[in-house]
Amino acid sequence: MDQVLYSTPDNPAPENRTEGFFETHDGHQLRYAVFRSGGQIAKGTVVILHGRNEYIEKYFETIRDLTAKGLWVATFDLRGQGGSSRLMKRRNHGHIRRFADYERDLDTFLEKVVLPDTRLPFYLLAHSTGGLIALSAAPYLTTRIDRMVLSAPFIGLTGQSASPRVIRALAGTLTAVGLGFLPLTSKLKEPNFSDNPLTSDEHRFERNVAMMKAYPELTLGPPTARWLIEAFRTMDRVTSPYHLFSITIPTIVIAPTRDGVVPYTAQERLSRYFRAGQLVPINGARHEIFQERDIYRAAALAAFHAFIPGSDAEENQDVAALGT
């Protein structure tokens, strides 16, 4: 059997797992993995939805944190990235035909892998683009997902050389004339810690760069015009009060205040109309909160465990013991 997950000396794969591929409605093969906790009784399963240009290996540390609390983790690489089927001959182009395909893939994953092979109740942890997918699909997930945690959901764009309005206009024009398969730029920037908008933790940044260099087939280049216009349209829809009112799954939005990809103000504005959602600011953190320095990452994990029923039970028992 060919290798499914990859490791580096600084980022070994967690044990006690099942890995493989599942088939989508339109015939693509998406890579997935299920990680089990060591306890006899599972406290539930966390479904992790990745951001753009992410892959399962990037979450090994977070997966260990969650399984140590008695939770199982189920996750998969989004279509067109990581170890899943690519959608174009030019493998490094980040492309999507319809944003709804992401939602349908999540539905297929829940049906084929999560429901039969993991443990109830089910929770959703979604970062960036994964957060946008979760927000879009949320009205239809009420009977399946008990709670959602959104990390810097991709509901706006900042930190680019052009304004979001210009990017949207260019992407829309290219898509309208049949050139939606082209990215707006062909430049592939070499990862550089000094000016990165993702994390202030140099060790975790370099660990991720080492993984990218060891397994470049997992990485992705700039998004295509079609990907961008589909994302912008989805942002418009999910941030409307009508859509937010239709979401009834209890949710927290973990919002880094120094996010260099998604404006913090957009995440703050989202919470005003999100009746089922509550904003949890992480002061000083950058976009990838679970790749951040310990002080920020610990705050995000504490918010997660306080919100997910049962996952903080051991900590509560320790506190009770100290008080006796």
Tokens of 2: 């060919």
pLDDT digits (tens, 9 = 90+) for 182-231: 998 876 677 889 989 999 999 999 999 999 999 999 999 899 999 999 99
Q: State residue 92's pLDDT score.
A: 81
| Mean pLDDT of the region 95-119 | 96
Residue 294 burial (C-beta neighbours within 10 Å; 0-12, 13-18, 19+): exposed
pLDDT digits (tens, 9 = 90+) for 143-172: 999 999 999 999 999 988 888 899 999 999
Q: State residue 53's pLDDT score.
A: 93
Tokens of 275: 């009746």
Task: Place 312 in a pLDDT band, splitting at 50, 70 and 90.
Answer: low
pLDDT over 70 percentage in the chain: 94
Q: Could you check whether the bond before residue 216 is cis, i.e. omega within 30 degrees of 0?
A: no
Q: State residue 309's pLDDT score.
A: 87
How far is 152 from 267, CA to CA, in rounded Å?
A: 7
Q: What is the CA radius of gyration of the chain?
A: 19
* pTM tops 0.75, yes or no: yes
Closest CA to 277 of 109, 134, 157, 143: 134
Pairing of β 17-23 and β 29-35: antiparallel
How far is 258 from 262, CA to CA, in rounded Å?
A: 9
